[in-house]
Amino acid sequence: MSGLCLLVQPIHPRGVRVLEAAGLVVRQASASTMDAVAREVKDAVAAITRNAGFDRDAMAAAPRLRVLGNHGTGYDPVDVAYAREIGLPIVYTPFANVQSVAEHAISQMMAIAKRVRECDRAVRQDNFDYRYARDFHELSGKTLLIFGFGKIGRRTAEIARLAFAMRVLVYSPSAEDAAIVSAGCVPVGDLGRALAEADIVSLHQRLTPQTRGMFDRERIAGMKAGAVLVNTARGALVEVDALVAAVENGHLRGAAMDVFETEPLPAGHPYARCDGILLSPHTGGATEEALERTAVETARQVVDVLAGRRPEFLVDPDVWARRRAPAHA
């Protein structure tokens, strides 16, 4: 096996070693912008991207490209429709970061319940009496609403139930009630009623035209007073101004955002000016363990495709039967 594999963004060194061991030349793109990628992907037989995605122009600029590796589970920044049109298989890793993101969601819940960031700031400012000034809560016994019951949502629910004895409600139009019940959770069909009941709402839903902006001013206003919103899924699920207003006026105790519609977060963004929203730079799946698993699994599947072996996880399985042939064929 030979040829170039272009990395749109860096991946764990173990993944690079898998690619090189298969005979591929691995090169890092000079920038993760699609303009740069389109210029540099021309001779590549494979490419791997992370949250930068891969657009139509980049694909059109790569006539030799036989596989695109999507490093992670979310692939909405990738032009899947055009890849289908040109017969380009896209591999992804739906399991590799599940534990990492679920732990991150739980950690954000804890940070807000215990006011961890504020406590740290108080001690540094010689305000030890802060412990008398604010309310601190346990997660135990609280009601958690999981919105989206895929692998990450399911694992988050499991940790919440088993580690913290939380009552877990699940709203998921695509999950069977029996599967939710068998996981020890309570299925709910009315999102509005569930929001009014939940102490914490954790988002794990894919971004679709139907879910974009789903947590708007009306839906956030319908959340229980003093509740917390945690988003480790996709930033565009939440309407920015609505969330900021709800936190600033005290309707919500706080919120945590690990994902944003535009990344990096633009300068002067309303979230950055709202002290009650806990921000992290899309690090939910960025533990060393998850990054290594994701890179290795992505690389192995890229190698499988180039070797003519059907990979384990295809974004669009139907593409496999009519995938691109090697350029020399």
pLDDT at 1 over 80: no
Contact 63, 44 (CB under 8 A): no
Crossing angle for the helix pair 13-21 and 288-306, nearest 10 degrees?
Answer: 20
Domain 98-279 fold: Rossmann fold (3.40.50)
pLDDT at 233 over 50: yes
pLDDT at 201 over 50: yes
Answer with the residue of higher pLDDT: 328 or 257: 257
pLDDT of residue 76: 87
Any idea which residues carry the catalytic annotation?
A: 234, 263, 282
Residue among 302, 314, 295 at smallest CA distance from 66? 302
How many whole angstroms separate alpha carbon 162 and alpha carbon 320? 40
pLDDT at 295 over 80: yes
Q: In Å, what is the CA distance from 13 to each residue of 10, 93, 209, 295?
A: 9, 17, 36, 8
How many whole angstroms separate alpha carbon 153 and alpha carbon 171? 10
How many whole angstroms separate alpha carbon 252 and alpha carbon 247? 5
Q: Specify the CATH superfamily of domain 4-96+288-322.
A: NAD(P)-binding Rossmann-like Domain (3.40.50.720)
Q: CA 140, 145, 150: angle at the middle one, nearest 5? A: 115
Percent of the chain whose predicted confidence (pLDDT) is above 90: 96
Lowest mean per-residue pLDDT among 120-124, 140-144, 234-238, 323-327: 323-327
Give the model confidence (pLDDT) of 278-290 as tens digits. Answer: 999 999 999 999 9
Mean pLDDT of all residues belonging to the chain: 97
Asked if the domains 4-96+288-322 and 98-279 are classified in one and the same CATH topology, the answer is: yes
How many whole angstroms separate alpha carbon 138 and alpha carbon 143? 11
Give mean pLDDT, residues 292-316: 98
> To the nearest 10°, the Cα dihedral for 84, 86, 89, 90?
-60
How many whole angstroms separate alpha carbon 136 and alpha carbon 113? 6
Amino acid at 201: V
Give the model confidence (pLDDT) of 81-117 as tens digits. Answer: 999 999 999 999 999 999 999 999 999 999 999 999 9
Can you give the residue ranges of every domain in the chain?
4-96+288-322, 98-279
Give the model confidence (pLDDT) of 252-272 as tens digits. Answer: 999 999 999 999 999 999 999
pLDDT of residue 23: 98
pLDDT of residue 288: 96
pLDDT at 319 over 60: yes
pTM for this entry: 0.88
Amino acid at 298: T
What tokens does 69 get? 């590796």
What tokens does 108 get? 């954000």
pLDDT of residue 73: 86
pLDDT of residue 329: 46
No. of helices (H) and no. of strands (E), the chain: 13, 12
Give the model confidence (pLDDT) of 30-67 as tens digits. Answer: 999 999 999 999 999 999 999 899 999 999 999 999 99
pLDDT of residue 327: 76
Give mean pLDDT, residues 299-308: 98
pLDDT of residue 192: 97
If pLDDT is split at 50, 70 and 90, which confidence band does 328 have?
low
Crossing angle for the helix pair 98-113 and 288-306, nearest 10 degrees?
Answer: 150
pLDDT at 205 over 90: yes
How many whole angstroms separate alpha carbon 8 and alpha carbon 34? 9
How many whole angstroms separate alpha carbon 227 and alpha carbon 255? 9
